[in-house]
Chains A and B, each alone.
Chain A
């Protein structure tokens, strides 16, 4: 248990569905992140939020829409996904900069059918 909670843990959705992934932390962190990990590939950084402001968007398609309503919560809204979007989606959080580490959630295993 890292203090970063992701829900749901597993999700199956059709290509025409709209769903949201949720990430929550009560560690007092003020930076949050979304990563994607496809099968047998390294983690890819998708989005970075610092003080609830998006500071990095790594060429992620618009069918993925992040939202950070406050420093404790991060969402990833999904719509019209493709089967190749099936992956493990990981959320992380950290304090700003300095001599600290990021904590990862256990991820949401997404399958697009």
Chain B
């Protein structure tokens, strides 16, 4: 399974863009990059995913480098409610099911 590397913690000021990096240098050509976040002891919440193109939805943007070895999650206007642990995951498919292997993630703190 492809491993991801994220900084353990980051801080961002409220209202500013939060840019969370992730390295996944062993990713295979057909593996997607997924981002989830977990707000204190709740179930993880899906944010966004992508294969090779940049993606944007109502929550965030995902920028994937051309060689696919790294990506950046962008929260354009961070709020205090965005304080959470953010997980970057390379998804593997096993017999049709999605295998999501969570690492330590990045603990993002949004400061007022």
Verify B42–A106 contact, CB threshold 8 A. Answer: yes
Interface bits B46-65 vs A (CB < 8 Å: 1, else 0): 10010000000000000000
* Chain A residues with CB below 8 A from B46, complex form: 101-103
- In the assembled complex, the Cα of A109 lies from the Cα of B45 at a distance in Å of 18
User: Can you name the residue of chain B whose Cβ is closest to the Cβ of A42?
Assistant: B102
User: Can you name the residue of chain B whose Cβ is closest to the Cβ of A105?
Assistant: B43
Interface bits B71-95 vs A (CB < 8 Å: 1, else 0): 0000000000000000100000111
Chain B at the A interface: SS class? loop
**Interface size, A (range):** 20 to 34
Verify B44–A96 contact, CB threshold 8 A. Answer: no
- Any B CB within 8 A of the CB of A74: no
Chain A at the B interface: SS class? strand
What is the distance, in angstroms, from B96's C-beta to the closest C-beta of chain A? 4
Verify B94–A55 contact, CB threshold 8 A. Answer: yes
- In the assembled complex, the Cα of A12 lies from the Cα of B49 at a distance in Å of 37
A48-B97, A50-B95 given as contacts; is B43 within 8 A of A42 (CB)? Answer: no
Among B87, B96, B104, the residue within 8 A (CB) of A97 is B96
Using a CB–CB distance below 8 Å, which chain B residues touch chain A? 32, 34, 41-46, 49, 87, 93-105
Q: A42-B103, A92-B43, A94-B97 known; 7 other A-B pairs, CB under 8 Å?
A: A31-B97, A43-B44, A50-B95, A50-B96, A53-B95, A55-B97, A104-B44
